[in-house]
Structure 1
């Protein structure tokens, strides 16, 4: 470890800062704030000099803005907020596309203007405030070139049109920002304008897309000094009422709670959720899972997605662990007992996070959450007595992270995660040291780190180690890199993180060629080649070699297409058997995919994909050739700027597939099966304006695993298979899985930060139909089961304590 830290320190010393000529925008202090209506006729804007002379970013990465489409920006501030006026001139404003959408749904068929602000001028972390020509606002925190739109703060923006173009007016309160305490602020910014019908994007401070990160090209903001921001304390009280009907029973529930955001200083903010209720979170896209790993879902709870960039360092925080499945199990259930309640998740009592960054670019974050004691209930059928079984005690989840930025392109991070459960349950602790370092010219990047896990269970501590080292060329058209990923067989970060597997020592190399200037036919294209050598750490044996060639093209007419072809060598899968030390041999296979995506500017557009894979025959077993084919078609139609409909259908068939069905701790049984899958989904949105919308989200997933030939195998010690009889009466592996989800909602943002959501949810599930049942038959049986109907109303109201104080004074 000491050599590792010494290496990282030498990188920090060796690499100097990256500099370039930067534009400057002067922010003017004002006494009277403008009216945020998008009409730029306020007196405060008349005498402020604009930032102008924008450069082209896309499709070409050189040249200046069209004279007919000039952009100018003015900036002002007072002790409450930063204000921005953006002038998007257009000689044909009738051609400006104006598709309506709701918050954060920015990349629709509309022009948009973006204000990128970095209050630390660190070249890495910045916040984007965006608005479309239809008035939809969006905000995202950006790290590298990754946009996280789960970041949401309260600010205002409105737009207007006239015969010269369109205009946007911003007010960004200081309680929406984090910045160091200083007499004069050292901020940087950039402005971006997207003109959709021309397929062109312009930026104020020029960006070279072939070198470094776009956030490293910001211009400077000068003149913001001696600001005395007000108390940064905002409250989000909410109330939710729910009526649910399932299996002839109707239940009601009324809950209330509050989220709090408090500025501990100009740089640090406390976020807390008290008595949380996530009943209106989007449904999980559940599938039939035949593999050895758990099925995971996206995080849909706002508290765990907003402002978590520091906590996500190193991939040690998987927020679905907090309030997820219990860590314990019910144990043995007697023949005369039945389970009457088996909790699938643990209730969250409260959670808080503190995060911010100092003037010296040191980021500090602390996260804490407490989940409740959870029990299962089992009834004795003879005595009718009910016993409780503890499956999760009171638990505390903690994260602490420090992240030092330097040279405006590099960082080193120390992070610790800890889970402590009451009593003699399992406890866990993981510590990681990470680095992400680039040289002065931004032509090379070194990324890596080490993570140490300690799990305490039954009084025994198990320690594990995981490392990664990556080096890549990050400049020019031709780029390449190599990486090593290692974990020993005791590494386990799954109490608060997510790692599917350990015990690996893999080497991966890649190379790519990409254009940054359009050619005669293409606006963009990129070709990638990747090779991977995978092996176990213990014993040190090869598990697989793979080779992949992929491509991506976009024509002048915005028609995109691409594909890939890849080859996997003979592989040894040590996870499919579910028994330590055993492995299944899979033969070499080759596959590929082709996809197309049409121009979304047209009312009708579509996406389509076809993919397939073939395995080589295994004559010694007598199997027919294993293969699979995948088709996806997603047409979309924009009836108007207010109404959009998107349909998606996926078809998947896997022939002569084989996999795990059972084991007794020593012997492992496999079966040959045909796997089929059909997934249909619909998204329909009607936007009354940028504040009110009706949304329909529908998904139906059907899948079968059919062992129709009743061919079963006993796994041999060398990974091969031998046919064997298997009695499916005791454990029938055939599956017919069907799930239906429908969400219909009306969302109304009735004031900044406040909204009301009326949601109707309909869901049904069936896993009992015969595997021979086709899709239509399975769908019919699905609705023979009880269907759950839920109607809920949730109201969230934003309160700025400063406004309350002013009201009391009045």
Structure 2
């Protein structure tokens, strides 16, 4: 069996680790640190005042054979509260923390974020497109925290093997770095250099430095075994497989998987979606998060050319069951200045039909320090549908000056289904102009042809789109450090759109005002004004609806942490359906019971007098709607290497006073006079997850999951009855044990 062979090879490859000159213990006391580069010109970037901070922060960076060592020293007197909640990896919570970000190639195309909280918890992200953070990336790196009454300190060691990089054989390399610190009590951020991810140019503003470069190779083998008991179907399942990550150098990295480790230990958010656009879900599967940044190519409307949830997603036989994956391989590397990536995956056969095959290839060439050109090609073979999909894209990133960033992309797709071919194309260009630190302007133009289709391996919101978007943002800072409001931001965005047939879609104007307070509080007020226009998606290809004008008003208030509590209140007043009003209230509270225990409570009601949903063909139903959402999450860290998480979510909708409508040939919604059947939907999910860190990147998971969905017609229950019923829903009821060990 391949698994047994790989496991034996892994055991044979175990070697004693090299002794590092830097001991990662939070104390910068080794003599090697005397040669480190020092960075101490930090500036306040949130609020965006660019003032010298009241609390001093100093950072050091040292290149070693084991990796890039980074140290922080953060002045923090006893008069300023310290927030040190322990959280699971990549969980966003208000806390004292530091971030180190590095662009290994120094070209502004991709960077990596390494964050350490005062509690010792960590976060890590890959960054593409200047300021798009992806927390699904989880590399292996070392960190430690040490504190006393006057300050706290952090040490990190970032191995050379965490990411593929160009020119890995040279004796030195030019990188770009960024350091920041967040003071949890006030949510103040101070950074060097004084860049902020809230502007259109971020990674390109990192500070360039020259450092010695060292060659490092690793071979990691992750055999896994999962045992699952399904209490609803009264059956159990045991699976095993192996992931292999081989990095002989920084310029070549290979990932391979046999029966990949795709055990479901992360719970997706519950969503009830009646829209024509599918719901996007992130991917936490280890194989797909490792060095995935090379394939992170997006479109302006949040489309994604390589959406890895397609691989191992619902099968094409309509059963709704997830496909099994036989094998997958990923290759990242560089030849000179040319970076490349290859991804391929083969799903298991379904009956007598072959399983789906997916592939992607990526090339990225920096022509010079200001211009980069990339290529991405994807292919999907779906035998059950007799469908092949080829997508080709070329992208460009150009930074002609510190004030300008220009990105562009051209796309083409070919779909061959049952002997019939369809060809589509598209292109977009986006330009940022940043004339001063307090001003940002953006112009974006998009064209997607009606036949453009990259949804077989990608995530595509729509085709047939022509859009011009113009955005302007202005900041105003308050110099007085004792002022209640330290920074204000005004933003205006205009979207003019049509489909590929020339039909005018609603034009949208969005006005936003944001205030950042010296206390750490945050407030935002936003209004969106949409003209009438064509909605060509709602009927799923059964005609265009001439939708009336609509308005939206949104407000948000987030408090600082006080007495272990932080709250956020939001409201959304919007018009939907035939333009009657709706109101949604959302309240969230985080309770930091102790450093080791925190709880999150959230939810709220929604009232609507005009909920219009598609039924079939050109028939629609119009309801009054009441919806409720509630969520409770608990995170407890009873001891080092032990985590317990409880996640619960409840969604309920009651639709009543229904009336039937039809979309006529003129684009108008016409009432038929017939009633629509009232209904309710009830959705509940519960997950209890225990995680034990056996060793670095070796974990034992014990997961209990339960939940389900119910629908009632005509005699719909009240909110209390729906909640009582939710606790009994049991479409899924299972226990999963998973052990994944790193050799």
TM (norm. structure 1) is 0.82
Match of 1:573 among 529, 535, 549: 535
Is 1:451 the counterpart of 2:411? The answer is yes
CA shift, 1:530, in A, is 1.7
- Bigger mean CA offset, 587-596 vs 201-210: 201-210
Match of 1:127 in 2: 112
User: Is contact 1:432-1:451 (8 Å) kept?
Assistant: yes
Equivalence for 2:457: 496
1:772 aligns with 2:737: no
Equivalent residue for 1:333?
Answer: none
Q: Find out whether 1:324 has 2:313 as its counterpart.
A: yes
Structure with more strand by fraction: 2
CA 1:207–1:484 in structure 2 vs 1: closer, same or farther (change >3 Å)? closer
Q: 1:73 aligns with which of 43, 60, 84?
A: 60
The residue number in structure 2 matching 1:691 is 641
Change (3 A) 1:659 1:135: closer
Which residue in the other structure is 1:103 paired with?
Answer: 89
Q: CA deviation at 1:210?
A: 9.6
Which of 251, 263, 267 does residue 235 from structure 2 map onto? 251
Out of 333, 351, 372, the residue aligned to residue 328 of structure 2 is 351
Q: Is the counterpart of residue 187 in structure 1 residue 174 in structure 2?
A: yes
1:724 has 2:678 as partner: no
Contact 2:227 2:236 in 1 (8 A): yes
Q: Match for residue 530 of structure 1?
A: 493
- 2:22 counterpart (13, 30, 34): 34
Correspondence list, 1:452-531, <5 A: 452-476=412-436, 477-515=438-476, 520-531=483-494
Aligned partner of residue 722 in structure 2, secondary structure: helix
Cα distance in 2 between the residues matched to 1:717 and 1:652: 33
Correspondence list, 1:220-259, <5 A:
220-222=208-210, 224-225=212-213, 227-229=214-216, 231-246=217-232, 249-259=233-243
Q: 1:533 to 1:279 in 2, by over 3 A?
A: same
Matched, 1:368 2:356: no
Deviation at 1:768, TM superposition (A): 3.6
Preserved contact between residue 588 and residue 615 of structure 1 (Cα < 8 Å): no
Distance 2:729 2:106 in 1: 58
SS of 1:497's equivalent? Answer: coil
The structure-2 alpha-carbon separation of the partners of 1:724 and 1:108, relative to structure 1 and needing over 3 Å to count, comes to: closer
> For residue 682 of structure 2, what is the aligned residue in structure 1?
738
Distance 1:469 1:116, change over 3 A: closer
What CA deviation, in whole Å up to 9, does each residue of 1:599-626 have, x standing for no partner? 1355122111111124797xxxxxxx62
Q: SS where residue 767 of structure 1 aligns?
A: strand
User: Aligned partners of 1:598, 1:634: CA distance in 2, in Å?
Assistant: 11
- Alpha-carbon spacing, 1:112–1:426, altered in 2? closer, same or farther (3 Å): same
Question: Deviation at 1:713?
Answer: 2.7
- Distance change in 2, residues 1:124/1:614 (3 Å): closer
In 2: Cα distance, 1:123 partner to 1:797 partner: 35
Shift of 1:198: 5.8
| Contact kept in structure 1, 2:576 and 2:611, CA below 8 Å | no
2:513 aligned with 1:556: no
Give the direction of change, closer, same or farther, for the CA distance of 1:770–1:65 in structure 2 (3 Å limit): same
- Give me the CA root mean square deviation: 2.9
* Cα 1:372–1:425 shift into 2, 3 Å: same
Distance 1:764 1:210 in 2: 39
**Other structure's SS at 1:99 match:** coil
Q: Secondary structure at the match of 2:231?
A: strand
Give the C-alpha shift of residue 532 in structure 1: 1.9
Partner of 1:11: none
* 1:433 matched residue in structure 2: 394
Query: Could you say which residue in structure 2 is the equivalent of 1:626?
Result: 580
Cα 1:212–1:606, aligned 2, differ >3 Å: closer, same or farther? closer
> What SS does the aligned partner of 1:316 have?
coil
What's the offset of the Cα at 1:95? 4.4
8 Å CA contact retained: 1:118, 1:187:
no
* Structure 1 residues 243 and 470, CA gap change in structure 2 (3 angstroms): same
Q: Deviations over 1:311-330 (max 9, x none)?
A: 1213211212112223355x
Partner of residue 261 from structure 1, selected from 238, 245, 257: 245
Q: Are the counterparts in 2 of residues 100 and 689 from structure 1 also a CA contact under 8 Å? A: no
Change (3 A) 1:319 1:52: closer
After superposition, the C-alpha distances for 1:68-114 in whole angstroms (9 at most, x for unaligned) are 73525252513x33434443344549844322223233x54432233
Structure of higher CA gyration radius: 1
Corresponding residue of 2:557:
596
Asked whether the 8 Å contact 1:124–1:408 carries over to 2, the reply is: no
Structure 1's 364 and 255: CA in aligned 2 closer, same or farther, altered over 3 A? Answer: same
Is the Cα contact below 8 Å between 1:654 and 1:675 reproduced in 2?
yes
Q: 1:718 to 1:181 in 2, by over 3 A?
A: same
Say which SS state the counterpart of residue 304 (structure 1) adopts: helix
Q: 1:74 to 1:690 in 2, by over 3 A?
A: farther
SS in 2 for 1:310: helix
1:396 aligns with 2:357: yes
C-alpha spacing 1:557/1:400, structure 2 compared with 1 (3 Å): same
Q: Work out whether residues 764 and 783 of structure 1, in 8 Å CA contact, stay in contact via their aligned partners in 2.
A: no
Asked whether 1:749 is paired with 2:693, we answer: yes
Measured in 2, the distance between the counterparts of 1:507 and 1:219 equals 33
Output the CA distance in 1 between the equivalents of 2:188 and 2:727. Answer: 50
Q: Which runs of 5+ in 1 are unaligned?
A: 1-29, 330-341, 376-389, 618-624, 800-810
Deviates more, 1:738-747 or 1:788-797: 788-797
CA distance in 2, matches of 1:656, 1:63: 49
Q: Are the structure 2 counterparts of residues 422 and 212 from structure 1 closer, same or farther at C-alpha, using a change threshold of 3 Å?
A: closer
CA separation in 1, counterparts of 2:730 and 2:40?
63
What is the aligned partner in structure 2 of residue 291 from structure 1?
275
Residue aligned with 1:639, SS:
strand
TM-score normalised by the chain length of structure 2: 0.89
CA, structure 1 residues 350+127, in 2 after alignment: closer, same or farther (shift >3 Å)?
A: same
Give the structure 2 partner of residue 547 of structure 1. 509
Question: Are the aligned partners of 2:186 and 2:519 in contact in 1 as well (CA < 8 Å)?
Answer: no
Q: Counterparts of 1:489 and 1:98 in 2: how far apart (Å)?
A: 51
Find 2:704's aligned residue among 737, 760, 771: 760
Shift of 1:544: 1.9
Question: How many angstroms does 1:548 deviate by?
Answer: 1.7
- CA separation in 2, counterparts of 1:172 and 1:563? 40
User: Quick one: distance in 2 between partners of 1:793 and 1:204?
Assistant: 44
CA change 1:411–1:95 in 2 (3 A) is same
Of the candidates 527, 530, 545, which is equivalent to residue 584 of structure 1? 545
